Structure 1
Amino acid sequence: MTNVLDETIGSSPAPGRKWWRKPWIVPLGFIAVAFIAFSLPRYLTFDRAQSRVQQPEFGWHYPLLVIHVTFASIAMLTCVLQVWPWFRARYRHIHRLAGRIYVFGGVFPAGVTALVIGVITPFGPAALSSGLVMAPLWLLFTYKGYRVARRRLFVDHRKWMIRSFALTMSIITNRVWAVVFAIWLGPQFDTTFMGNEKLFGYSLAGATTWLGWVIPLLIAEWWLQRDEVARRRAKARV
């Protein structure tokens, strides 16, 4: 594995390394753009009827949702640039600018609105508890990453931003789990859920909201631990 220092913001790219040596960046960017192109336009119409989440009990829910989706889309797009080693090594000034946009024009407003929206979610207590845990973690990881970058602790910056990245992109895995559980639990609607649409919706939302961000975060932590082991082995060889 590439030494962790080669992957930090302050490092120089390895000789001869090309952008296509990181083939995951193309599908990642495509998925992010496709997801935003599918999700964002309906909220830019400011038509409440087109919202995927309806909460008529709170009139201010929809404006907050529009703000959240818009800034979360900015976070997703800038995040793709932030995790691209080739780009950040060659265009550090753009990386720093995109990083500030990611933090202040993406995650912070999206995370704060996500916390408020999570409190009044119409999808039941399991989804509510997920939002109350995930949103503060998203804000915390991003803040920690920004703070250590200001102190030029780039190895620590990378670790915190990988965690932030996992939560930023977790909305995509959330949708994947929604499809999986809908296919799995759908045939049980009349038996396990006794034909109760609210019970079915609560169960579906609870499972997808928790798994949507917990699994990506666990994978990120596994990757960071794997990276740390590789770094220690490299030190031992030296």
Structure 2
Amino acid sequence: MNSHLTTVGKIIMTILVVAIVLGYVAVQYGIVGAEYAGLVKVKLSKPDFHYSPWIYVLYTHIVSGCVALVVGLIQLLRKPEAERMQLHRWLGKIYVICILLSGIVNIYLSIFASGGGFSKAGFFLLDSLWICATLTAVNRIQKSQVEAHQQWMLRSYALTFSGVTLRIWLPLLMTPFEFETAYPMVAWLAWVPNLLIAEWAIRKRATKVKRLASHAIPIVE
């Protein structure tokens, strides 16, 4: 019972965090305007920065990334049932398309990332792993490797969730540090811990499955 309540609590907390981030993105970039966002202000302060076409690429990243964040959460929280597999597949296709689109434009954005080479390397590696993990998950389900597909999708969503953790880490780090110091750290902290947690969850589940299998009572005919 306590374990169930803990799981429900984690689900509710995850949904709330995603909702808060989506609300922030909608207000900041949809109502207030991108030019007033903190990260964009930093770029606009540089005389050699070209607002266009960078801003259009940014909006493509924001829209596709937010859709992937929501759709991925739905896929993660609901159990695919036989009578709803068609919906699961369609949502999966939307998720993959959004990640491919966002991941490709993110590589462009990483080239112009604030914070120097350390930031650019962090975001470039994030985007590359994001695309690779998602395509690997697709490849595994095409080969009917369901367990492997779920594992790679969990890794993929851990990287998708970096859009949320970035906005948690940045204000925390900007309390003791200046932006120029905090942002390069965020470029790695936004996704590396997420991926480590996903790996821990995958290995924990694999260990539990093996333990249950070893305690299974064989049926003697």
TM-score calculated relative to the size of structure 2: 0.83
Are the counterparts in 1 of residues 28 and 34 from structure 2 also a CA contact under 8 Å? no
| Counterpart among 112, 119, 123 of residue 104 in structure 2 | 112
Q: Distance in 2 between matches of 1:208 and 1:147?
A: 31
1:194-220: CA deviations, max 9, x gaps? Answer: xxxxxx323110111211100010011
Residue of structure 2 in register with 1:212 after alignment: 190
Cα gap change, 1:52/1:182 in structure 2, threshold over 3 Å: closer, same or farther? closer
Structure 2 residue 35 is matched with structure 1 residue 49: yes
Structure 2 residue 124 is matched with structure 1 residue 132: yes
Cα gap change, 1:108/1:125 in structure 2, threshold over 3 Å: closer, same or farther? same
Are the counterparts in 2 of residues 40 and 70 from structure 1 also a CA contact under 8 Å? no
SS in 2 for 1:39: helix
The residue type paired with residue 71 of structure 1 is S
Q: Looking at secondary structure, tell me which structure has more helix per residue.
A: 2
1:76-91 correspondence runs (5 A): 76-86=69-79, 88-89=80-81, 91=84
Cα gap change, 1:123/1:21 in structure 2, threshold over 3 Å: closer, same or farther? closer
1:108-151: CA deviations, max 9, x gaps? Answer: 11111111100111332221110111000000001111121222
Residue of structure 1 in register with 2:140 after alignment: 148
Q: Distance in 2 between matches of 1:108 and 1:46?
A: 28
| TM-fit CA distance, 1:91 | 3.1
Q: Distance in 1 between matches of 2:84 and 2:174?
A: 43
Are the counterparts in 2 of residues 43 and 51 from structure 1 also a CA contact under 8 Å? yes
Residue of structure 1 in register with 2:158 after alignment: 166
Of 163-172 and 36-45, deviating more is 36-45
Residue of structure 2 in register with 1:225 after alignment: 203
Q: Which has the higher contact order (CA 8 A, sep 6+)?
A: 1
| TM-fit CA distance, 1:51 | 4.3
Q: Distance in 1 between matches of 2:57 and 2:37?
A: 12
Are the counterparts in 2 of residues 68 and 113 from structure 1 also a CA contact under 8 Å? yes
TM-score calculated relative to the size of structure 1: 0.78
SS in 1 for 2:175: helix
| TM-fit CA distance, 1:47 | 4.9
1:70-112: CA deviations, max 9, x gaps? Answer: 10000001011110144x33733222111110011x2111111
Specify every segment of 5 or more residues in structure 2 that has no aligned partner in the other structure, as ranges: 217-221
Q: Distance in 2 between matches of 1:21 and 1:43?
A: 33
Specify every segment of 5 or more residues in structure 1 that has no aligned partner in the other structure, as ranges: 1-17, 186-199
Residue of structure 1 in register with 2:23 after alignment: 37
Percent of paired sites with the same residue: 20
Cα gap change, 1:29/1:93 in structure 2, threshold over 3 Å: closer, same or farther? farther
Of 68-77 and 31-40, deviating more is 31-40
Equivalences, count: 204
